[in-house]
Amino acid sequence: MERLGVIGMPSDWLIASHVDYHNVETNLGIQLVDIPIERVTSLGEVDPGIDGANAIYDRLKELIAEYELSGVTLRCFDLLSTVKNTGCIALSRLNDEGIPAACEGDIPTLLTMMLCQRLTGCPGFQCNPARIEDGRMLFAHCTLPLSMTTCHSLTTHFESGIGVAIHGELPEGDYTLVKLSGDLKRLFAANVQLVSNQYEPNLCRTQVWLEIDDKVSHYFQTNPIANHHVLIPGHHEDKFAL
Partner 1 sequence: MLHILASSLHQEPIQLPQLDEQWVKDHQVVAVMTGGSEQLFLQKVHEGAITLDEPIYLIAGQQSNSLAACCEILSWININNGHGEIRSYRNAE
The residue ranges that bind partner 1 (CB under 8 A) are 12-17, 77, 128-133, 159, 200-204, 220-228
Minimum distance, C-beta of residue 204 to partner 1, in the bound complex (Å): 7
Q: Where are the alpha helices (DSSP H) in the chain?
A: 21-28, 38-41, 50-67, 77-80, 88-96, 107-120, 214-222
Minimum distance, C-beta of residue 242 to partner 1, in the bound complex (Å): 18
d(CA 233, CA 193) in angstroms, rounded, equals 10
d(CA 119, CA 121) in angstroms, rounded, equals 6
214 vs 222 by CB, closer to partner 1: 222
d(CA 128, CA 132) in angstroms, rounded, equals 11
d(CA 106, CA 213) in angstroms, rounded, equals 27
Minimum distance, C-beta of residue 217 to partner 1, in the bound complex (Å): 10
130 vs 146 by CB, closer to partner 1: 130
Minimum distance, C-beta of residue 138 to partner 1, in the bound complex (Å): 8
* Spacing of C-alpha 24 from chain mean position: 19
Angle, CA of 225, 227 and 230, to the nearest 5° = 85
59 vs 157 by CB, closer to partner 1: 157
Minimum distance, C-beta of residue 162 to partner 1, in the bound complex (Å): 12
> Between 50-67 and 88-96, two packed helices, what is the crossing angle to 10 degrees?
50
d(CA 50, CA 53) in angstroms, rounded, equals 5
15 vs 195 by CB, closer to partner 1: 15
35 vs 88 by CB, closer to partner 1: 88
